[in-house]
Amino acid sequence: MADRTQSSGILRPLAAIEAFCRQILTASGADRPTAEAATRAMMHGTCHGIDSHGVRLLAHYVKGLVEGRLNPRPKLTLANSLGAVASLDADNAHGALATYTAMDHATRLAGEFGIGAIAVRNSSHFGPAGAYAIDAAERGFIGFAFCNSDSFVRLHDGAMRFHGTNPIACAVPVKGQNPWLFDMATSAVPYNRVQLYRSLGRELPAGVASDERGYDTRDPQIADMLAPLGGEFGFKGAGLAGIAEILSAVLTGMKLSVDIAPMPGPDFSTPRGLGAFVIALKPGAFLDIDSFDAAMTRYLDTLRNSPAREGFKVMAPGDREWAVAAQRQKAGVELDPVTVESFKALGAAYGINAPV
């Protein structure tokens, strides 16, 4: 679902924002593949309304590049290749470069074997998981992307931060339409929602956050951790987070969420050692492609035309995001005030005009 965050009230063209991000990353020392991948992932978030994982991350990534958390010129290498599976050592690359590279290999393997799976080692924060799933779908493959992150979400009935928000994304190609897109955190809400309610002085919805003892709270001022997806049935969200944890950390040999250094620092000089996992499936390996396309089209037509409650509209996963993307491509986007100020500071530091 698109983020509803405070905006600056000024529309800025997506193309200008994209160019600025790319220029700033290059000026901060990133090689061309890193600057392109990081910009592409951030723009996916901003274009589709996932603003928490959009260009507001630019200053964070620059800090990581400059202070040593991220390798600005990594050498990514495949290892442990066996048929349709392999591991990718990302050499502490930006997470977007690592994951786009992994999906590129996964789709290549799926083109040959019908399936491709890549475990990613020595990566970092990768931004919006849906960006990598869509990358596969745009090539005609079903794409999955998983990642774990530093602990911020308690277990069901738990009293400590355990999993990260541990996103899961899947995208499926649909002939003549935008891909079906499912992109979710396994926490009840993203932490930026807590920050937003804190700034607005509003109560949180019930069952989405907990105090430092693990008890539910609606007061954003004392919210210390997030709750797993599912409310009273939060074991479901915790279990989904476990799937992302096993694929991203256990199977890759990387750090569990409880061992990952916090994203906001204070240490930005040490690589975080994140893992990730991507899968690509070739539909035509399972049935003829015309049958697949017809079935997906009928599925979505039936879904979207199914009865809705009064005042509501039934939508497929991704429909909201595609609607936001169409509007923002046409009219531009309103950046939140914090991002506007960070753009001004970055522009002044590197002598690049900010789109503000």
Could you give the CA distance from residue 82 to residue 71 in angstroms, rounded to a whole number? 27
Written as six digits, the tokens of 324 are: 């936001």
**In which residue are the tokens 């879904």 written?**
303
**In which residue are the tokens 């600005």 written?**
72
Residue type, position 219, single letter: D
Specify the pLDDT at position 356. 67
Specify the pLDDT at position 1. 44
Residue type, position 178, single letter: N
What is the pLDDT of the chain when averaged over all its residues?
A: 94
Specify the pLDDT at position 4. 45
Q: Which of 91-105, 193-207, 271-285, 321-335 has the lowest mean pLDDT?
A: 193-207
Could you give the CA distance from residue 342 to residue 14 in angstroms, rounded to a whole number? 17
Going by pLDDT thresholds of 50, 70 and 90, the confidence category of residue 8 is: low
Could you give the CA distance from residue 329 to residue 221 in angstroms, rounded to a whole number? 36
> Could you read off the pLDDT of 61-118 as tens digits, one per residue?
999 999 999 999 999 999 889 999 999 999 999 999 999 999 999 999 999 999 999 9
> Could you read off the pLDDT of 200-253 as tens digits, one per residue?
789 999 999 999 999 999 999 999 999 999 988 999 999 999 999 999 999 999
Domains and CATH numbers, the chain: 1-67+305-356 (1.10.1530.10), 74-187+228-304 (3.30.1370.60), 190-226 (3.30.60.50)
pLDDT score of 269 more than 90: yes
Q: Would the pTM of this model clear 0.85, i.e. be above it? A: yes
